[in-house]
């Protein structure tokens, strides 16, 4: 394989999108092809092709058995680093970025990923984190027509005073602890007191939270009726609808440490305010 970036994004929808967009950014600089491994699992059990239109210069491939032997190339001890590089080369990659520590080094400037890409023909990424300027390439994700139709139907109800609200729950312990529902209720109540014409679009992965806010705010809350299962095709399609509806609001009140909140704000460059305990917004 020559001049290729292999991406194996991990996690849910937003995590995968930001990894892919980062790979597209890097591929554009290095003039490399992109191959995408899109795994079906409990984090996201729906094929890429059922969610988005094909992206130019991305080939979707199956994960090979040999990929399980890949190890991070970035090791401190020279002997171990040599052995790992030899193994990786045998199974057809030149440089592997697999661990959170590697991404931290890239973001901190310890690893120059562009220089690595120029000296290594094949790069392999297995991560849930972004590693470059992925904002422009997020525009390359085009939802399938059936999904886009639902996005349009929902967004047609918005106006310039519609605020997006994303409350992450279920298995996200950090968001539950740092961004409790009461913070959102208090912020939304304050907004309505200042301007009664404001409305909200609520995206959440928890039906109980949705019911609570609907009871609290009534007709001021808009939602998209959806499946809450990430382990079903319909549930993931509905997550895409929620994601792009958030992106089309005037600003977003998001959950702490949520890539879904962050990435949806980046799509159209709207303001994200993460609601966090200690009466702070970040």
Span 94-137, pLDDT tens digits: 888 987 788 989 988 899 999 999 999 999 999 999 999 999 99
Task: Give dist(CA 156, CA 240) in Å, integer.
Answer: 17
Same fold, 4-138 and 144-281: yes
Phi, psi dihedrals of residue 205, rounded to the nearest 5°: -100, 15
- Name the residue ranges covered by the structural domains of the chain: 4-138, 144-281
pTM of the model: 0.91
Say if CB 54 and CB 34 are below 8 A apart. Answer: no
Question: What pLDDT is recorded for position 94?
Answer: 82
Say if CB 212 and CB 198 are below 8 A apart. Answer: no
140 forms beta bridges with: none
Strands 199-204 and 221-222, by their bridges, are parallel
Q: Could you give the count of Cα atoms lying within 13 Å of 29 in the half-sphere of its Cβ?
A: 15
Average pLDDT value for residue range 203-213: 96
User: How many helical (H) and strand (E) elements, i.e. helices and strands, does the chain have?
Assistant: 10, 11
Question: What pLDDT is recorded for position 173?
Answer: 87
Q: Say if domain 4-138 classifies as CATH 3.40.1350.
A: no
- CATH classification for the domain delimited by 144-281, as one of 3.20.20.70, 3.40.50.1820, 3.40.50.11350, 3.40.50.300: 3.40.50.11350
Q: DSSP class of residue 2?
A: -
Say if CB 240 and CB 220 are below 8 A apart. Answer: no
Question: What pLDDT is recorded for position 75?
Answer: 61
Average pLDDT value for residue range 59-71: 74
């Amino acid at each position: 394989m020559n001049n290729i970036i292999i991406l194996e994004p991990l996690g849910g929808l937003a995590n995968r999108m930001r990894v892919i967009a980062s790979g597209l950014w890097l591929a554009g600089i290095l003039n490399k092809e992109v191959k995408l491994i899109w795994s079906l699992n409990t984090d996201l059990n729906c094929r890429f092709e059922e969610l988005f239109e094909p992206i130019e210069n991305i080939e979707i491939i199956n994960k090979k058995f040999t990929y399980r032997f890949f190890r991070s190339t970035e090791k401190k001890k020279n002997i171990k680093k040599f052995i790992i590089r030899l193994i990786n080369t045998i199974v057809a990659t030149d440089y592997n970025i697999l661990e959170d520590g590697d991404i931290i080094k890239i973001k901190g400037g310890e690893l120059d990923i562009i220089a690595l890409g120029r000296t290594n023909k094949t790069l392999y990424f297995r991560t849930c984190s972004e590693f470059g300027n992925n904002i422009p390439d997020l525009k390359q994700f085009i939802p399938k027509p059936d999904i886009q139709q639902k996005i349009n139907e929902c967004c047609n109800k918005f106006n310039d005073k519609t605020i997006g609200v994303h409350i992450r729950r279920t298995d996200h312990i950090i968001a539950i602890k740092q961004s409790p529902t009461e913070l959102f209720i208090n912020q939304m109540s304050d907004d309505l007191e200042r301007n009664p014409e404001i409305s909200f679009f609520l995206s959440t992965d928890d039906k109980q939270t949705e019911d609570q806010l609907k009871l609290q705010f009534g007709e001021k809350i808009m939602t998209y009726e959806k499946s809450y299962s990430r382990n079903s095709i319909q549930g993931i399609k509905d997550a895409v609808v929620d994601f792009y509806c958030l992106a089309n609001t005037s600003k977003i009140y998001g959950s702490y440490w949520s890539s879904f909140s962050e990435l949806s704000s980046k799509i159209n460059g709207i303001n994200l305010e993460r609601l966090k305990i200690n009466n702070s917004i970040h």
